[in-house]
Amino acid sequence: MNAMSALLRRAEQIHDLSRDELVCLLSGREYDREIFAAADRVRRKYVGDEVHLRGLIEFSNICRRNCFYCGLRAGNRGLGRYRLTPEEIIGLARKGREYGYRTVVLQSGEDDYYTVAKMCQIIRELKQYGLAVALSIGEKSGADYAAFREAGADRYLLRIETTDRRLYEDLDPGMSHENRKRCLRDLKRLGYEVGCGSLVGLPGQTIASLADDILYFRSLEADMVGIGPFIPHMDTPLKGAQGGDFLLSLKVMALTRLLLPDSNIPATTAMETLRREGRLLALQSGANVVMPNISELQYRRLYALYPGKAGADESPEESRAELCRKLEGMGRTVGKGYGSRQKLYAREKAGRRRPGAARRENS
């Protein structure tokens, strides 16, 4: 066994890699197959063969931010804008429950129309349908996050995008990297299941900063990590950028699985957009979650984070039926529960640390 194979074997067993080791694994392509296979074995061991489906509702494409990489940026004057009423959001979530989803993800730009009171009203209503509620609505105050949690919100998704502070603040004008991290700390403190993640292939991003991203997810003990390739949008300042690489994005995701063995990791729509069957490849390389869109078609086309978004022309029924068919062909099953993180690895580590634990297990 050569040194790199031995390194991967150790990562698979003890779920630890240094920054230099991550950089080494991310830099070449020779061991990609081994990385993907190791991540798939770890996925199977800790989260099993169930794939958890979350129904995604993109309820507003209005955003006060001006992030250079995002098609929803306030400065994009060519985008038709929309926002759904609370009644429309609740109606879509109710349909999602009828389709079989146990979790809905409410996602929007940072739209100040949706006050804390409005969001809490929506959350309380959705909880009456037996749904787990995940929010992805950006940076808020600690008090706002606490109010959503009190209303019944279970999860919150807030990607760090990049742990390179200078790059983040260059590409997200008027935003603070430290405030982004403050939001994530607040969410953890309040007991949310916290989702984080990053974009791969941003202009100026380095392999070392991608390694830092993975280590940050681990330090945060993220319950869910979404990794996606950067796809340039023609109506943003980065329209001429090269964009992210599918295989590098897949490898960042797989290495994240090795270091966070029991976290939920989605096969992102951006991967499917960049590579046909990209989500299936992700599910074979460590992912265990898919978030099919249950928004109405006319709104789905307007939620244009990036161009050519996969599934933008499929009905919710078509999306779910086709996905279930593909999963069955892979030998995977659709999860029937809420799909919360089980933290099996954390319990394993705690057991190893208990005095006498090893003796009891070996007796």
Task: Tell me the binding residues for S-adenosyl-L-methionine.
Answer: 161, 180
d(CA 140, CA 126): 21
- pLDDT mean over 344-363: 60
pLDDT band at 348 (very low <50, low <70, confident <90, very high): confident
pLDDT tens sequence across 206-226:
999 999 999 999 999 999 999
pTM, two decimals, is 0.95
pLDDT score at 40: 98
Residue 361 pLDDT exceeds 50: no
> Is residue 308 over pLDDT 80?
yes
Q: Which long-range contacts (CB under 8 A, 24 or more apart) does 280-283 make?
A: 280/326, 280/330, 281/250, 282/250, 282/253, 283/51, 283/327, 283/330, 283/332
The domains of the chain, with CATH numbers, are 19-362 (3.20.20.70)
pLDDT at 53: 97
pLDDT above 70 covers what percent of the chain? 97
Binding site listing for (3R)-3-methyl-D-ornithine: 136
* Burial bucket for residue 208 (CB in 10 Å: 0-12, 13-18, 19+): middle
Q: How confident is the model at residue 363 (pLDDT cuts 50, 70, 90)?
A: very low
* Binding-site annotation: residue ranges for [4Fe-4S] cluster: 63, 67, 70
Segment 31-83, tens digit of pLDDT: 999 999 999 999 999 999 999 999 999 999 999 999 999 999 999 999 999 99
Q: In whole angstroms, what is the distance from residue 56 CA to residue 72 CA? A: 17
Structure confidence at residue 162 as a pLDDT band (50, 70, 90): very high
pLDDT of residue 353: 64
- The yes-or-no verdict on residue 192 having pLDDT over 90 is yes
- Which is nearest to 299 in space by CA: 35, 72, 135, 4? 72
pLDDT of 360 > 90? The answer is no
Element (H, E) at 22: helix 19-27
Confidence of residue 362 (pLDDT cuts 50, 70, 90): very low
Looking at residue 357, its pLDDT comes to 42
pLDDT level of residue 352 (50, 70, 90 thresholds): confident
In angstroms, the CA 40 to CA 43 distance is 5
- Of the chain, the percentage scoring pLDDT greater than 90 comes to 88
Annotated binding site: 63, 67, 70, 136, 161, 180
Average pLDDT value for residue range 231-257: 97
